[in-house]
Each structure stands twice: as structure tokens, then as C-alpha cells.
Amino acid sequence: MSIFSYQAVNPEGNHVKGTVEGVNRDEVIESLTKQGMKPSEVKLVTGDKKASGLFKKRVSITDLVLFTRQLSTMVSAGVPLMRALTTLQTQAENPSLKEVIGSLVKDVQGGSQLADALEKHPKVFSEIYVNMVRAGEAAGIVDDILKRLATQVEKSASMRKKIKGAMTYPGVLLSLTVVAFFGLMIFVVPQIGTTLKGLGGPGAQLPPLTQGMLDMSDFMVKQWYLVLAILLSIIFGLRAYLKTDSGRHVFHRLILKAPIAGMITTKIAVASFTRTFSALIGAGVSVVEALKVTAGSLGNVLFKEEIEKAANQVVNGKQLSQALEGSTLFPAIVPQMLAVGEETGQTDIVLVKVAEFYEEEVDTAIASMSSLLEPIMIVIMGAAVGLIAAAVMGPIASMSQNVN
């Protein structure tokens, strides 16, 4: 529970102040209103650390899938929506999800549509989720839509998990390489340099590679704060640039042109587009609205612009298959399959097949990328260690020859 301060007008018309406990601001306002007060200001004073701030447990994809599946099952079985939501609130183990469902219960109980209640929680329910539920409510097929949504969320989560898993090992190796390099340059190389100079005497000339590495190490040790400032400036500068429109364009274009990453990114975008668009069309959402919603969910600016351009052409009377026919981003199979779907009136079913095909392609590509990245990272680590070893062994070998 959290503590809220409030200012309100009581039933007698007097202005009053005070504090009250509540789960959230909406609950406090509702409680004060039931007491006959008219709250003018409600502010959070102290919150429960377990339920707010940095300690608040987020609603995970697994929680969302489970909630969607259970709600779909209960609605399909004829359980009234209010009763289903109340039951799910009681069973929810995640405090954040329990709070969200509690808010849904109050909104639906107050006469709101389920989609409108979901829309108030954009961090939990995406725009696609809300639009599909809204279309399902309009068509009276909420249970079927929820089943589609659960499948959609599961597929997206599965793809993210595979990508994350494929990048974990190379990421760990790269981090270890960077840490090992700086560790050697700061702590080990200076000691080796002192030893080599002591063995060679005051006038000894070290090989260029060794001297260059010693100079770099000396700079890092003496000017560590400058090195740290440069690294932080590069990191924060890149992050700030990538948040701009031009930065996103450049970054996403580079990714699409990269040999392996470009191919995988394209397949992921096509799989996501076809499955999401299929789900929205199957739910009864108009083509133009489905395109606008889907465009913002692909995570790539270039694909988003391509889809928005196609949506404008559809508004002007073109078929979607014709609008995507000359696309440089979407493979030729997408407009061809769209044309088949438009001719047969089964666009959603046809696109599901395309999505399944590209999801399998993504799985294969990610497996290939993982098997390729691992030896590359090992070679990079070996090259870094070998460079330092060569810088150390070169002068030692030279001094051995001089002794002989």
C-alpha cells in the first residue's frame, strides 16, 4: 500500500487536506468520491518499495501470455468478463499484474469497453493488442481474438529469446576480451616493460611493436581519467545520436547492409509483419489501420516508412500486393502471396503461412550465426593475446641473440 496526500471539498463545502492509504491514485480518488468528497489534488507521498520504483516487478511476456490464455479459455467457456477478470486478479502472483487487472476490473465495472481499459496500460498491452481486442469486441469474437493474441505474443517472445540466446555467448566473449586487454595494458605490460628495459640497459632500443604497446600502456596508466572520459563520451554520444531520426536511419540502414545481420533483420521484420498484419486482418481491422499499427511494431525505421508508403497507396485505391510489388526491402514472395490472398479472400491465412516460413528461416539463420560468431570471437581473443605476446617475446629473442 502507498500513502497519498489529498486536497478536497467535503460534503459541507469546506476545503480539507489529509493523507490516505491506497493501491494507486485512481483507487484513492474513487474512495474519496464515495465519501462525498470532491478531490482537487491527489499526490503520492510514500510508496511501497516492493511495488513501486526500481523494486517494482514488471509484467513479463510470460505473465501476459498466461493472462491472455486464461482469459480466452474462461470467456470461451461462457464465464462473464467481469467474473473472469476478478478470478484472474485473485490468482495473479505478480503484484504488478494483479494491480493492472484490478484497474481493468474497475474500468469494465464502470461501463468501459475492455479495449479502452487495456489502452490505459500501454507498458503492458501494446497498440496491436488493444486494436485486436477492440476489433474482437466489435465483431463479438473476443475469445477467438484472445487466442490469436496469445499465439502472437508467444511467437514474438520465442523469437526474442532465440536472438538473445544467440548473442549471449559472443557478447560474454567480447566483454572478457575488452576487460582482459585493459587489464593487461594497465597492470601487466608496465611490469614487463620495466623488466625488458632493465635487461637491455639504459640505451637499449626496443622493437617498434613493443615500444608502441609500452607507450599505449603508459598513456592509459597516467591518463586513465582521459581514457575513461573519451570512452564515456563515445558511448553517450552514440546513444544520443541513435535517438535522433537521422541516427536511427543511419543505424538501421547499416544493419540492413551488413552481410549476416542484414539478412537476419530482414527475415525477422518480414515474419513479424506478416504474422501481425494477418492477426489484425483476421480480427476485422481495416487494411489501412492494420498497416499503420503494424508499421510501428517492427522496430526498423526503413521498414516502417516502406509500410506507411504502402498504406498511402492503399488509401489511393491500390491493392496492398501492388503497393509492395516494387519494394526493395520486402522479398518478392510477400507481394505474390498477398496477391493470392486478395484473390481468394484469405489474406490472413496465406500470410500466416508466410510468417511460419520466415520464422523457420530465422531459426536457421540464428543457428548459423551462432556457430559462426563463436570461432570469430575466439580468433579475436587469440589475436589480442598474441599481439601482446609478440610484443613481449620479440625483444627477449633479440636480447638472446645478442648474448649468444
Tens-binned pLDDT, residue by residue, of the chain (404 aa):
567 788 888 877 788 887 776 667 777 787 778 777 888 787 776 554 444 444 456 888 888 888 988 898 888 888 888 899 999 988 888 888 988 998 898 888 888 889 889 988 888 888 778 888 887 787 777 887 888 788 878 877 777 787 777 778 777 877 887 888 788 788 877 887 777 777 666 666 777 888 888 888 888 888 888 988 998 999 999 999 988 989 989 999 999 898 888 888 898 889 888 888 888 888 777 888 888 878 877 778 899 899 999 999 999 989 999 999 888 889 899 999 999 999 998 888 898 889 889 888 888 887 777 777 778 878 877 887 787 777 777 777 666 665 55
| Residue pair 157/165 in contact by the 8 Å Cβ criterion | no
Helix (H/G/I), strand (E/B), else coil: 207: coil
What are the two backbone dihedrals, phi and then psi, of residue 243, each rounded to the nearest 5 degrees? -85, -15
Looking at residue 2, what is its pLDDT? 64
Distances (CA, A) of 387 to 194, 215, 219, 394: 19, 15, 18, 11
One-letter amino acid at 290 equals A
- Round to whole Å and give the CA distance between 127 and 142: 16
Is the dihedral angle over the CA atoms 211, 212, 214, 219 positive or is it negative?
A: positive
Looking at residue 326, what is its pLDDT? 82
Distances (CA, A) of 171 to 55, 178, 261, 363, 364: 27, 11, 15, 19, 20
Distances (CA, A) of 325 to 249, 319, 339: 23, 10, 10
Looking at residue 123, what is its pLDDT? 85
Question: 250: Cβ–Cβ under 8 A, 6 or more apart, which residues?
Answer: none
Looking at residue 57, what is its pLDDT? 65
Looking at residue 362, what is its pLDDT? 84
| Residue pair 150/132 in contact by the 8 Å Cβ criterion | no
One-letter amino acid at 385 equals V
Looking at residue 202, what is its pLDDT? 61
Looking at residue 232, what is its pLDDT? 92
| Residue pair 288/137 in contact by the 8 Å Cβ criterion | no
Cell of 358: 520466415
Looking at residue 46, what is its pLDDT? 59
Residue bearing cell 463479438: 140
Looking at residue 250, what is its pLDDT? 92
- Alpha-helix residue ranges (DSSP H) falling in 184-260: 189-200, 208-222, 224-242, 245-257
Looking at residue 401, what is its pLDDT? 62
Tally Cβ neighbours within 10 Å of residue 59.
Answer: 22
Looking at residue 386, what is its pLDDT? 80
Burial of 136 (0-12, 13-18, 19+ CB in 10 A): buried
Looking at residue 237, what is its pLDDT? 93
Question: 25: Cβ–Cβ under 8 A, 6 or more apart, which residues?
Answer: 4, 42, 44
Report the predicted TM-score, pTM, of the whole model to 2 decimal places: 0.66
Distances (CA, A) of 244 to 80, 248, 265, 388: 47, 6, 21, 39
Helix (H/G/I), strand (E/B), else coil: 297: coil
Residue bearing cell 596508466: 221
